[in-house]
């Protein structure tokens, strides 16, 4: 086998809480993460040449691309002799959207290289390498429903969340993550998510309990110029969403539905005003 294509799934934050600021300047987080069906396709080909070539549409394929960084980390950490690679990414997950699109591409690259070159590499070791690439990359290697702590690299696999339909709506702006963190004063955060309650609801398979606890504390520190996030949340509620929140550091907002037809109707209503609207489901 010299080539493999794998899906790189988007993620949602069912909860996102900020616990403390660390001495190294980063923050300890507590997040319940969920994979959804929206995905990029990542093809990794062993070329027999030298170096890593990455093609990713309009997104740079240089060292700033997490797929390239993941490939280099794989060779550096496993002892596998570096070889020529071609990475082709068909993008569907929007960039700068809070859905870990770049991290998921990096994770898919790691999973592909393990299959191609080192199939006996333990999953824990692959996640350790992933943590060197980016905070969300270990979760994207694992996927599913998980509690992520620390910077996002400490993972606890959870029982699968109840199957829900998710409509994702990204407005036409980006929110700089460092700016959001700079506005955080942990002692003053309010309206925090009930993470223990969410974990219990997932454990019990309590769909209503899950829906009632969806929350992102970043929404409490959003500057007024990003009020479009709240406009979309209000639209979702008028369109019958049973829960709605921003994912990650935004700006994408998601609405959750138990009924597929209700989700499809919301998708059709929103996509006329927001080009980057997607109909997905939990996977």
- Residue 11 is a catalytic residue: yes
How far from 262 is each of 12, 38, 266, 267, CA to CA, in Å?
20, 18, 6, 9
Sheet strand arrangement including 243-246: 243-246, 253-257, 165-170, 276-281
> Are 125 and 203 contacting, i.e. CB atoms less than 8 angstroms apart?
no
- Alpha carbon distance 250, 274 (integer Å): 15
Can you name the residues that pair with 29 across neighbouring β-strands?
A: 18, 150
CB atoms within 10 A of CB 234: 12
Is the Cα dihedral 169, 258, 282, 181 positive or negative? positive
Residue 47: name the closest of 7, 82, 12 by CA.
82
- Residue 136 is a catalytic residue: yes
> 17, 40, 136, 233: which is the annotated catalytic residue?
136
Residue 272: name the closest of 173, 175, 169 by CA.
169
Long-range contacts of 230-235 (CB under 8 A, 24+ apart): 232/169, 232/171, 232/270, 232/274, 235/169, 235/269, 235/270
Residue 19: name the closest of 167, 107, 148 by CA.
148
Catalytic residues: 11, 136
């Amino acid at each position: 086998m010299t080539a493999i294509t794998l899906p790189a799934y988007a993620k949602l934050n069912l909860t996102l809480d900020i616990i403390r600021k660390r001495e190294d300047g980063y923050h300890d987080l507590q997040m319940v993460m969920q994979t959804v069906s929206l995905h990029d396709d990542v093809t990794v080909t062993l070329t027999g040449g030298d170096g890593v070539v990455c093609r990713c549409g309009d997104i740079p394929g240089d060292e700033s691309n997490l797929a390239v960084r993941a490939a280099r980390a794989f060779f550096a950490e496993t002892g596998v002799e570096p070889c020529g690679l071609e990475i082709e990414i068909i993008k569907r997950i929007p960039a700068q959207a809070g859905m870990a699109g770049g991290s998921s591409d990096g994770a898919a690259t790691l999973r592909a290289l393990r299959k191609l070159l080192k199939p006996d590499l333990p999953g824990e070791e692959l996640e350790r390498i992933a943590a060197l690439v980016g905070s969300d990359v270990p979760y994207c290697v694992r996927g599913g429903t998980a509690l992520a702590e620390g910077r996002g690299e400490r993972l606890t696999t959870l029982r699968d969340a109840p199957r829900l339909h998710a409509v994702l709506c990204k407005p036409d702006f980006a929110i700089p993550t460092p700016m959001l963190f700079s506005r955080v004063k942990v002692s003053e955060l309010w309206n925090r998510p009930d993470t223990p309650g969410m974990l219990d609801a997932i454990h019990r398979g309590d769909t209503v309990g899950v829906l009632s606890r969806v929350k992102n504390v970043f929404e409490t520190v959003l500057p007024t110029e990003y009020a479009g996030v709240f406009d979309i949340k209000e639209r979702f509620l008028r369109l019958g969403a049973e829960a709605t929140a921003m994912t990650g550091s935004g700006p994408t907002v998601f609405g959750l539905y138990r009924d597929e037809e209700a989700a499809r109707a919301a998708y059709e209503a929103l996509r006329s005003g927001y080009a980057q609207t997607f109909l997905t489901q939990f996977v």
